[in-house]
Homo-oligomer: A and B are copies of this chain.
Amino acid sequence: MTHLIAIGGSDAGISAALRARELDPSIDVTVVVADEYPNFSICGIPYYFTGEVAPWQSLAHRTSADLEATGMSLRLNTFATGIDVAGQRLTVRTPDGGTEDIGYDELIVGTGALPSHAGIIGLDQLTPTDGVHVIHSMGDTFALDRDLEQRQPSSAIIVGAGYVGLEMAEAFTVRGLQVTQLQRSPEVLSTLDPELGTLVHDELTAHGIDVITNTTVTGIQKTPAGLTVTGTRDGQAFTQTADLVLVVVGVRPNTELLEQAGASLGAGRAVVVDEWMRTGLPHVWAAGDGIITHHRLLGPTYLPLGTTAHKQGRIAGENALGGDRRFAGSVGTQVVKVFDLIAARTGLRDHEAVAAGLASSTVTAAADDHKRYYPGAHTIQFRITADTSDGRLLGAQLVGRRGTEVAKRVDTFATALYAGLTIEQISELDLSYTPPLGSPWDAVQVATQAWSTAQRPALVR
Protein backbone atom coordinates (compact mmCIF):
# COMPACT_ATOMS: atom_id res chain seq x y z
CA MET A 1 0.00 0.00 0.00
CA THR A 2 1.60 3.23 -1.08
CA HIS A 3 -1.13 5.58 -2.30
CA LEU A 4 -4.49 6.37 -0.73
CA ILE A 5 -6.93 8.71 -2.44
CA ALA A 6 -9.80 10.30 -0.56
CA ILE A 7 -12.48 12.01 -2.63
CA GLY A 8 -14.21 14.88 -0.91
CA GLY A 9 -12.95 17.84 1.10
CA SER A 10 -15.63 17.71 3.77
CA ASP A 11 -15.90 15.70 6.98
CA ALA A 12 -15.61 12.14 5.67
CA GLY A 13 -12.79 12.65 3.17
CA ILE A 14 -10.64 14.82 5.40
CA SER A 15 -11.17 12.60 8.46
CA ALA A 16 -10.11 9.58 6.43
CA ALA A 17 -7.01 11.33 5.15
CA LEU A 18 -6.05 12.65 8.59
CA ARG A 19 -6.45 9.23 10.19
CA ALA A 20 -4.38 7.52 7.50
CA ARG A 21 -1.55 10.03 7.87
CA GLU A 22 -1.76 9.77 11.67
CA LEU A 23 -1.50 5.99 11.63
CA ASP A 24 1.16 5.62 8.95
CA PRO A 25 3.18 8.65 7.86
CA SER A 26 4.78 6.56 5.11
CA ILE A 27 1.53 6.44 3.12
CA ASP A 28 0.97 8.92 0.30
CA VAL A 29 -2.44 10.45 0.78
CA THR A 30 -4.15 12.56 -1.88
CA VAL A 31 -7.44 14.36 -1.22
CA VAL A 32 -9.47 15.27 -4.29
CA VAL A 33 -11.57 18.34 -3.55
CA ALA A 34 -14.21 19.60 -6.00
CA ASP A 35 -13.86 23.21 -4.89
CA GLU A 36 -11.11 25.17 -3.20
CA TYR A 37 -12.50 24.96 0.31
CA PRO A 38 -11.36 21.75 1.98
CA ASN A 39 -12.36 21.07 5.58
CA PHE A 40 -14.78 23.96 5.90
CA SER A 41 -17.42 23.81 8.62
CA ILE A 42 -20.63 23.72 6.63
CA CYS A 43 -22.55 23.65 9.92
CA GLY A 44 -21.05 27.05 10.71
CA ILE A 45 -22.37 28.86 7.63
CA PRO A 46 -25.51 30.23 9.34
CA TYR A 47 -23.26 31.96 11.89
CA TYR A 48 -21.36 33.66 9.10
CA PHE A 49 -24.68 35.18 8.06
CA THR A 50 -25.58 36.25 11.59
CA GLY A 51 -22.28 38.12 11.62
CA GLU A 52 -21.00 36.10 14.57
CA VAL A 53 -18.30 34.46 12.44
CA ALA A 54 -15.98 36.63 10.38
CA PRO A 55 -14.13 36.47 8.10
CA TRP A 56 -15.47 33.46 6.23
CA GLN A 57 -11.99 31.93 6.29
CA SER A 58 -12.40 31.23 9.99
CA LEU A 59 -15.06 28.64 9.11
CA ALA A 60 -12.22 26.31 8.12
CA HIS A 61 -11.70 23.53 10.69
CA ARG A 62 -8.12 23.54 9.38
CA THR A 63 -6.49 25.63 6.67
CA SER A 64 -5.05 24.05 3.54
CA ALA A 65 -1.64 24.71 5.06
CA ASP A 66 -2.66 22.84 8.25
CA LEU A 67 -3.82 19.90 6.17
CA GLU A 68 -0.71 19.84 4.02
CA ALA A 69 1.42 20.02 7.15
CA THR A 70 0.13 16.55 8.03
CA GLY A 71 1.74 15.33 4.81
CA MET A 72 -1.39 14.91 2.71
CA SER A 73 -1.62 16.30 -0.83
CA LEU A 74 -4.64 18.41 -1.73
CA ARG A 75 -5.94 18.48 -5.31
CA LEU A 76 -8.30 21.47 -5.21
CA ASN A 77 -10.87 22.40 -7.87
CA THR A 78 -10.53 18.83 -9.06
CA PHE A 79 -13.65 16.84 -9.81
CA ALA A 80 -13.72 13.06 -9.69
CA THR A 81 -15.57 11.81 -12.78
CA GLY A 82 -14.94 8.09 -12.90
CA ILE A 83 -13.52 5.10 -11.08
CA ASP A 84 -11.78 2.28 -12.94
CA VAL A 85 -12.24 -0.28 -10.20
CA ALA A 86 -10.33 -3.10 -11.89
CA GLY A 87 -7.47 -0.84 -12.90
CA GLN A 88 -7.46 1.03 -9.55
CA ARG A 89 -7.46 4.39 -11.29
CA LEU A 90 -9.49 7.51 -10.60
CA THR A 91 -10.35 9.87 -13.45
CA VAL A 92 -10.61 13.52 -12.54
CA ARG A 93 -11.33 16.79 -14.30
CA THR A 94 -8.43 19.08 -13.51
CA PRO A 95 -8.79 22.81 -12.72
CA ASP A 96 -7.88 23.68 -16.32
CA GLY A 97 -10.69 21.48 -17.68
CA GLY A 98 -8.44 18.61 -18.69
CA THR A 99 -8.71 14.98 -17.74
CA GLU A 100 -6.26 12.98 -15.68
CA ASP A 101 -6.10 9.44 -14.39
CA ILE A 102 -4.59 8.90 -10.95
CA GLY A 103 -3.63 5.44 -9.73
CA TYR A 104 -4.53 4.35 -6.20
CA ASP A 105 -4.02 1.41 -3.94
CA GLU A 106 -7.06 2.27 -1.84
CA LEU A 107 -9.84 4.74 -2.58
CA ILE A 108 -12.18 6.35 -0.05
CA VAL A 109 -15.23 8.11 -1.45
CA GLY A 110 -16.70 10.91 0.62
CA THR A 111 -18.72 12.80 -1.96
CA GLY A 112 -21.43 13.62 0.53
CA ALA A 113 -24.85 14.90 -0.37
CA LEU A 114 -26.50 17.52 -2.52
CA PRO A 115 -29.37 19.84 -1.67
CA SER A 116 -32.76 18.29 -2.34
CA HIS A 117 -35.09 20.17 -4.65
CA ALA A 118 -38.16 18.33 -3.38
CA GLY A 119 -39.69 18.46 -6.85
CA ILE A 120 -40.28 22.21 -6.69
CA ILE A 121 -41.06 23.41 -10.23
CA GLY A 122 -38.92 26.33 -11.37
CA LEU A 123 -36.15 25.70 -8.87
CA ASP A 124 -33.88 24.22 -11.53
CA GLN A 125 -34.19 27.34 -13.68
CA LEU A 126 -33.67 29.93 -10.96
CA THR A 127 -30.23 30.77 -9.61
CA PRO A 128 -28.66 32.93 -6.92
CA THR A 129 -28.61 35.85 -9.40
CA ASP A 130 -32.40 35.56 -9.44
CA GLY A 131 -32.44 35.59 -5.63
CA VAL A 132 -33.11 31.88 -5.21
CA HIS A 133 -30.65 30.03 -3.00
CA VAL A 134 -29.69 26.75 -1.48
CA ILE A 135 -26.99 26.58 1.19
CA HIS A 136 -24.73 23.58 1.14
CA SER A 137 -21.25 24.72 0.12
CA MET A 138 -18.93 27.69 0.40
CA GLY A 139 -19.92 28.52 -3.20
CA ASP A 140 -23.56 28.76 -2.12
CA THR A 141 -22.42 30.90 0.80
CA PHE A 142 -20.59 33.40 -1.37
CA ALA A 143 -23.51 33.57 -3.80
CA LEU A 144 -25.96 34.31 -0.99
CA ASP A 145 -23.59 36.81 0.58
CA ARG A 146 -23.23 38.64 -2.74
CA ASP A 147 -26.98 38.69 -3.26
CA LEU A 148 -27.62 40.09 0.20
CA GLU A 149 -25.00 42.78 -0.33
CA GLN A 150 -25.97 43.77 -3.86
CA ARG A 151 -29.74 43.62 -3.81
CA GLN A 152 -30.29 44.39 -0.14
CA PRO A 153 -33.47 42.31 -0.02
CA SER A 154 -35.89 43.20 2.76
CA SER A 155 -37.88 39.99 2.87
CA ALA A 156 -37.13 36.30 2.55
CA ILE A 157 -39.05 33.09 2.27
CA ILE A 158 -37.36 30.05 3.74
CA VAL A 159 -38.77 26.81 2.43
CA GLY A 160 -38.17 24.24 5.15
CA ALA A 161 -37.93 24.42 8.94
CA GLY A 162 -35.34 21.80 9.74
CA TYR A 163 -32.00 22.46 11.39
CA VAL A 164 -30.48 24.62 8.66
CA GLY A 165 -33.76 26.33 7.86
CA LEU A 166 -34.17 27.41 11.48
CA GLU A 167 -30.58 28.60 11.78
CA MET A 168 -30.90 30.60 8.57
CA ALA A 169 -34.23 32.07 9.73
CA GLU A 170 -32.36 33.38 12.77
CA ALA A 171 -29.53 34.68 10.56
CA PHE A 172 -31.85 36.55 8.18
CA THR A 173 -33.79 37.99 11.11
CA VAL A 174 -30.59 39.20 12.75
CA ARG A 175 -29.72 40.89 9.44
CA GLY A 176 -33.04 42.69 9.40
CA LEU A 177 -34.95 40.69 6.80
CA GLN A 178 -38.59 39.92 7.35
CA VAL A 179 -38.68 36.13 7.24
CA THR A 180 -41.53 33.85 6.28
CA GLN A 181 -40.79 30.23 7.11
CA LEU A 182 -42.78 27.59 5.28
CA GLN A 183 -43.00 24.09 6.64
CA ARG A 184 -44.73 21.08 5.11
CA SER A 185 -45.34 19.33 8.43
CA PRO A 186 -47.83 20.43 11.07
CA GLU A 187 -44.97 21.76 13.20
CA VAL A 188 -41.45 23.10 12.71
CA LEU A 189 -38.40 20.93 13.38
CA SER A 190 -40.28 17.77 12.52
CA THR A 191 -37.41 15.65 13.82
CA LEU A 192 -38.90 16.40 17.26
CA ASP A 193 -42.36 15.57 18.53
CA PRO A 194 -44.76 18.46 17.91
CA GLU A 195 -45.17 18.88 21.69
CA LEU A 196 -41.58 20.17 21.69
CA GLY A 197 -41.52 21.58 18.16
CA THR A 198 -44.18 24.04 19.25
CA LEU A 199 -41.72 25.56 21.73
CA VAL A 200 -39.32 26.21 18.84
CA HIS A 201 -42.21 27.61 16.81
CA ASP A 202 -42.97 30.06 19.63
CA GLU A 203 -39.33 31.13 19.76
CA LEU A 204 -39.38 31.91 16.03
CA THR A 205 -42.64 33.84 16.34
CA ALA A 206 -41.30 35.77 19.33
CA HIS A 207 -38.49 36.98 17.12
CA GLY A 208 -40.84 38.21 14.41
CA ILE A 209 -40.67 35.30 12.01
CA ASP A 210 -43.89 34.43 10.22
CA VAL A 211 -44.11 30.66 10.54
CA ILE A 212 -46.59 28.92 8.25
CA THR A 213 -46.96 25.17 8.72
CA ASN A 214 -48.88 22.50 6.80
CA THR A 215 -47.67 24.20 3.65
CA THR A 216 -46.22 22.35 0.68
CA VAL A 217 -44.32 24.40 -1.87
CA THR A 218 -44.69 23.16 -5.42
CA GLY A 219 -43.28 26.04 -7.49
CA ILE A 220 -41.17 29.19 -7.53
CA GLN A 221 -41.26 31.88 -10.18
CA LYS A 222 -40.04 35.39 -10.79
CA THR A 223 -42.87 37.90 -10.74
CA PRO A 224 -42.95 41.69 -10.96
CA ALA A 225 -43.25 41.81 -7.18
CA GLY A 226 -40.23 39.59 -6.62
CA LEU A 227 -40.10 35.85 -6.16
CA THR A 228 -43.39 34.11 -5.75
CA VAL A 229 -43.71 30.75 -4.09
CA THR A 230 -46.82 28.70 -4.81
CA GLY A 231 -48.20 25.56 -3.27
CA THR A 232 -50.88 24.33 -0.95
CA ARG A 233 -51.67 25.10 2.64
CA ASP A 234 -54.05 22.86 4.50
CA GLY A 235 -55.25 21.72 1.08
CA GLN A 236 -55.94 25.25 -0.19
CA ALA A 237 -53.92 27.13 -2.79
CA PHE A 238 -51.12 29.13 -1.25
CA THR A 239 -48.98 31.93 -2.60
CA GLN A 240 -46.37 34.15 -0.99
CA THR A 241 -43.93 36.68 -2.42
CA ALA A 242 -40.60 37.94 -1.12
CA ASP A 243 -37.34 39.46 -2.32
CA LEU A 244 -35.33 36.29 -1.72
CA VAL A 245 -36.04 32.58 -1.44
CA LEU A 246 -33.91 30.04 0.37
CA VAL A 247 -34.77 26.37 -0.14
CA VAL A 248 -33.55 24.08 2.64
CA VAL A 249 -35.59 20.93 2.40
CA GLY A 250 -32.94 18.35 3.14
CA VAL A 251 -30.33 16.56 1.10
CA ARG A 252 -29.98 13.57 -1.21
CA PRO A 253 -26.88 11.39 -1.34
CA ASN A 254 -24.38 12.29 -4.05
CA THR A 255 -23.76 8.81 -5.38
CA GLU A 256 -23.25 9.22 -9.13
CA LEU A 257 -19.57 8.33 -9.01
CA LEU A 258 -19.99 5.18 -6.95
CA GLU A 259 -23.16 4.13 -8.76
CA GLN A 260 -21.38 4.28 -12.12
CA ALA A 261 -18.55 2.25 -10.63
CA GLY A 262 -21.01 -0.49 -9.73
CA ALA A 263 -21.75 0.10 -6.05
CA SER A 264 -25.13 -0.92 -4.63
CA LEU A 265 -27.71 1.62 -3.57
CA GLY A 266 -30.15 1.15 -0.72
CA ALA A 267 -32.42 3.23 1.51
CA GLY A 268 -32.80 6.79 0.19
CA ARG A 269 -30.70 5.74 -2.81
CA ALA A 270 -27.56 6.00 -0.69
CA VAL A 271 -24.60 3.67 -1.19
CA VAL A 272 -24.57 0.45 0.80
CA VAL A 273 -21.45 -0.18 2.88
CA ASP A 274 -20.67 -2.72 5.57
CA GLU A 275 -19.55 -1.92 9.12
CA TRP A 276 -15.95 -1.62 7.90
CA MET A 277 -17.02 1.05 5.33
CA ARG A 278 -16.40 -1.35 2.43
CA THR A 279 -18.52 -0.71 -0.67
CA GLY A 280 -18.10 -4.24 -1.99
CA LEU A 281 -15.98 -2.88 -4.84
CA PRO A 282 -12.38 -4.01 -4.35
CA HIS A 283 -10.23 -1.35 -2.66
CA VAL A 284 -13.09 1.16 -2.65
CA TRP A 285 -14.41 2.46 0.66
CA ALA A 286 -17.08 5.07 1.33
CA ALA A 287 -18.10 7.25 4.25
CA GLY A 288 -20.29 10.23 5.10
CA ASP A 289 -23.51 11.71 3.76
CA GLY A 290 -23.48 9.58 0.59
CA ILE A 291 -23.88 6.24 2.32
CA ILE A 292 -26.38 4.30 4.34
CA THR A 293 -25.65 4.62 8.04
CA HIS A 294 -25.82 1.83 10.56
CA HIS A 295 -28.21 3.01 13.27
CA ARG A 296 -27.75 1.09 16.51
CA LEU A 297 -31.50 0.85 17.09
CA LEU A 298 -32.84 0.77 13.53
CA GLY A 299 -30.14 -0.93 11.49
CA PRO A 300 -29.50 0.49 8.01
CA THR A 301 -30.91 3.97 7.53
CA TYR A 302 -30.11 7.16 5.65
CA LEU A 303 -29.21 9.72 8.31
CA PRO A 304 -26.63 12.22 7.06
CA LEU A 305 -24.85 13.96 9.96
CA GLY A 306 -21.45 15.59 10.21
CA THR A 307 -20.59 13.80 13.44
CA THR A 308 -21.27 10.46 11.77
CA ALA A 309 -19.25 11.42 8.70
CA HIS A 310 -16.25 12.19 10.93
CA LYS A 311 -16.50 8.79 12.61
CA GLN A 312 -16.99 6.88 9.38
CA GLY A 313 -14.16 8.73 7.62
CA ARG A 314 -11.82 7.95 10.49
CA ILE A 315 -12.75 4.27 10.30
CA ALA A 316 -12.41 4.11 6.51
CA GLY A 317 -8.98 5.73 6.78
CA GLU A 318 -7.88 3.20 9.36
CA ASN A 319 -9.29 0.16 7.54
CA ALA A 320 -7.92 1.24 4.15
CA LEU A 321 -4.51 0.87 5.81
CA GLY A 322 -5.28 -2.66 6.89
CA GLY A 323 -7.13 -1.90 10.10
CA ASP A 324 -10.09 -3.84 11.38
CA ARG A 325 -12.30 -1.25 12.99
CA ARG A 326 -16.08 -1.39 12.73
CA PHE A 327 -18.43 1.54 12.71
CA ALA A 328 -20.35 1.17 15.94
CA GLY A 329 -23.38 2.96 14.59
CA SER A 330 -25.25 6.19 15.08
CA VAL A 331 -28.08 6.83 17.48
CA GLY A 332 -29.14 9.97 15.61
CA THR A 333 -28.05 12.56 18.16
CA GLN A 334 -28.73 16.10 16.99
CA VAL A 335 -28.90 19.55 18.55
CA VAL A 336 -29.81 22.98 17.24
CA LYS A 337 -29.73 26.49 18.66
CA VAL A 338 -32.68 28.65 17.61
CA PHE A 339 -32.21 32.14 19.04
CA ASP A 340 -32.13 31.49 22.80
CA LEU A 341 -33.57 28.00 22.68
CA ILE A 342 -31.70 24.71 22.40
CA ALA A 343 -33.46 21.65 21.00
CA ALA A 344 -31.87 18.21 21.00
CA ARG A 345 -32.77 14.61 20.38
CA THR A 346 -31.18 11.20 20.35
CA GLY A 347 -32.49 7.75 19.55
CA LEU A 348 -36.03 7.03 18.45
CA ARG A 349 -39.34 8.77 18.72
CA ASP A 350 -42.46 6.79 19.43
CA HIS A 351 -43.60 6.26 15.85
CA GLU A 352 -40.08 5.26 14.78
CA ALA A 353 -39.86 2.70 17.56
CA VAL A 354 -43.30 1.32 16.78
CA ALA A 355 -42.38 1.08 13.08
CA ALA A 356 -39.33 -0.91 14.17
CA GLY A 357 -41.57 -3.37 15.97
CA LEU A 358 -40.77 -2.18 19.48
CA ALA A 359 -43.22 -1.90 22.36
CA SER A 360 -42.67 1.78 22.78
CA SER A 361 -44.11 4.39 25.08
CA THR A 362 -43.28 8.09 25.25
CA VAL A 363 -43.82 10.35 28.23
CA THR A 364 -43.57 14.13 28.59
CA ALA A 365 -41.62 15.47 31.55
CA ALA A 366 -40.25 18.76 32.80
CA ALA A 367 -37.36 19.43 35.15
CA ASP A 368 -35.34 22.43 36.19
CA ASP A 369 -31.79 22.63 34.83
CA HIS A 370 -30.58 23.49 38.34
CA LYS A 371 -31.98 24.10 41.78
CA ARG A 372 -34.81 26.58 41.53
CA TYR A 373 -33.57 28.56 44.54
CA TYR A 374 -30.37 29.51 42.71
CA PRO A 375 -30.79 32.36 40.21
CA GLY A 376 -31.31 31.64 36.54
CA ALA A 377 -33.04 28.28 36.75
CA HIS A 378 -35.09 27.30 33.71
CA THR A 379 -37.28 24.33 33.02
CA ILE A 380 -36.17 21.80 30.43
CA GLN A 381 -38.96 20.02 28.58
CA PHE A 382 -38.43 16.34 27.81
CA ARG A 383 -39.99 13.55 25.81
CA ILE A 384 -38.69 10.17 26.94
CA THR A 385 -39.23 7.07 24.84
CA ALA A 386 -38.58 3.59 26.19
CA ASP A 387 -39.48 -0.01 25.63
CA THR A 388 -42.36 -1.13 27.83
CA SER A 389 -41.35 -4.79 27.49
CA ASP A 390 -37.92 -4.44 29.08
CA GLY A 391 -37.63 -0.81 30.21
CA ARG A 392 -34.80 -0.10 27.79
CA LEU A 393 -34.29 3.55 26.85
CA LEU A 394 -35.11 4.13 23.18
CA GLY A 395 -34.84 7.88 22.81
CA ALA A 396 -34.97 11.31 24.37
CA GLN A 397 -35.91 14.77 23.19
CA LEU A 398 -35.08 17.94 25.12
CA VAL A 399 -35.82 21.63 24.68
CA GLY A 400 -34.49 24.29 27.03
CA ARG A 401 -33.17 27.82 27.18
CA ARG A 402 -29.60 28.45 26.18
CA GLY A 403 -27.44 27.85 29.24
CA THR A 404 -29.45 24.88 30.50
CA GLU A 405 -26.78 22.47 29.22
CA VAL A 406 -29.32 20.68 27.03
CA ALA A 407 -26.65 19.89 24.42
CA LYS A 408 -24.57 17.93 26.88
CA ARG A 409 -27.54 16.49 28.75
CA VAL A 410 -28.64 14.83 25.54
CA ASP A 411 -25.17 13.26 25.52
CA THR A 412 -25.98 11.40 28.73
CA PHE A 413 -28.95 9.87 26.95
CA ALA A 414 -26.83 9.17 23.85
CA THR A 415 -24.25 7.39 26.01
CA ALA A 416 -27.00 5.43 27.75
CA LEU A 417 -28.40 4.41 24.35
CA TYR A 418 -24.96 3.30 23.20
CA ALA A 419 -24.64 1.16 26.31
CA GLY A 420 -28.19 -0.18 26.08
CA LEU A 421 -29.23 1.08 29.51
CA THR A 422 -32.73 0.80 30.90
CA ILE A 423 -34.74 3.65 32.34
CA GLU A 424 -34.12 2.24 35.82
CA GLN A 425 -30.38 2.18 35.23
CA ILE A 426 -30.44 5.88 34.37
CA SER A 427 -31.55 6.51 37.97
CA GLU A 428 -28.43 4.61 39.01
CA LEU A 429 -26.09 6.94 37.12
CA ASP A 430 -23.83 8.98 39.35
CA LEU A 431 -24.37 12.36 37.67
CA SER A 432 -22.81 15.57 38.91
CA TYR A 433 -24.59 18.01 41.20
CA THR A 434 -23.99 21.47 42.48
CA PRO A 435 -26.95 23.82 43.03
CA PRO A 436 -25.95 26.35 40.28
CA LEU A 437 -25.74 23.60 37.67
CA GLY A 438 -27.91 20.65 38.63
CA SER A 439 -30.05 18.85 41.14
CA PRO A 440 -29.40 15.81 43.35
CA TRP A 441 -31.43 13.87 40.81
CA ASP A 442 -30.35 15.45 37.57
CA ALA A 443 -33.05 16.70 35.20
CA VAL A 444 -32.20 13.71 33.02
CA GLN A 445 -33.14 11.39 35.88
CA VAL A 446 -36.23 13.33 36.86
CA ALA A 447 -37.40 12.85 33.28
CA THR A 448 -36.72 9.12 33.16
CA GLN A 449 -38.32 8.65 36.58
CA ALA A 450 -41.42 10.34 35.15
CA TRP A 451 -41.44 7.65 32.47
CA SER A 452 -41.22 4.96 35.16
CA THR A 453 -43.98 6.51 37.20
CA ALA A 454 -46.24 6.73 34.17
CA GLN A 455 -45.59 3.13 33.16
CA ARG A 456 -45.30 1.34 36.44
CA PRO A 457 -47.21 3.32 38.99
CA ALA A 458 -46.59 1.22 42.08
CA LEU A 459 -44.02 -1.37 41.16
CA VAL A 460 -42.08 -2.98 43.97
CA ARG A 461 -39.76 -5.58 42.57
Contact = CB atoms under 8 A, between A and B. Distances in A.
Interface of A: 11, 22-24, 41, 43-44, 47, 52-53, 58-59, 61, 306-308, 310-311, 314, 318, 321-325, 328-337, 342, 344, 346, 371-375, 403, 405, 407-412, 414-419, 421, 425, 427-438, 440-442, 444, 453, 458-461
Contact of A374 (B53, B321, B458): B53
A333 B409 CA distance: 15
A352 to B, nearest CB: 15
5 contacts: A41-B371, A307-B441, A346-B430, A411-B429, A414-B432
A337 B432 CA distance: 12
B328 A460 contact: no
A52 B11 contact: no
Nearest to A410: B432
A44 B374 contact: yes
Contacts of A434: 43, 335-337, 407
B435 A414 contact: no
A24 B59 contact: no
B460 A23 contact: yes
Given A323-B460, A374-B44, A428 B433 contact: no
A459 B23 CA distance: 7
Given A415-B412, A428-B311, A461 B325 contact: yes
Nearest to A11: B440
Contact of A335 (B23, B433, B460): B433
A435 B47 contact: yes
Most central of A44, A318, A344, A428 by chain B CB within 10 Å: A428
Contacts of A419: 415-416, 418-419, 421
Contacts of A41: 371, 373, 435
A328 B411 contact: no
A431 B333 contact: yes
A38 B217 CA distance: 60
A382 B342 CA distance: 25
Q: Identify the 10 closest CB pairs spanning chains A and B, nearest first.
A: A419-B419, A408-B408, A328-B428, A335-B432, A407-B437, A415-B415, A405-B408, A58-B373, A333-B430, A323-B460
A308 B372 CA distance: 20
B440 A310 contact: yes
Contacts of A442: 411
A323 B461 contact: yes
Given A23-B460, A322-B460, A333-B430, A437 B342 contact: yes
A333 B315 CA distance: 32
A318 B411 contact: no
Nearest to A372: B58
Contacts of A433: 43, 306-307, 335
B414 A373 contact: no
A418 B408 contact: no
Contacts of A53: 373-374
A58 B441 CA distance: 18
Contacts of A453: 22
A333 B461 contact: no
Given A323-B460, A331-B430, 8 more contacts: A47-B373, A314-B427, A337-B436, A337-B437, A407-B434, A408-B408, A408-B412, A411-B444
A415 B396 CA distance: 16
A331 B337 CA distance: 32
A406 to B, nearest CB: 8
Contacts of A416: 415, 419
**Most B CB within 10 A of own CB, among A59, A307, A321, A403:** A307
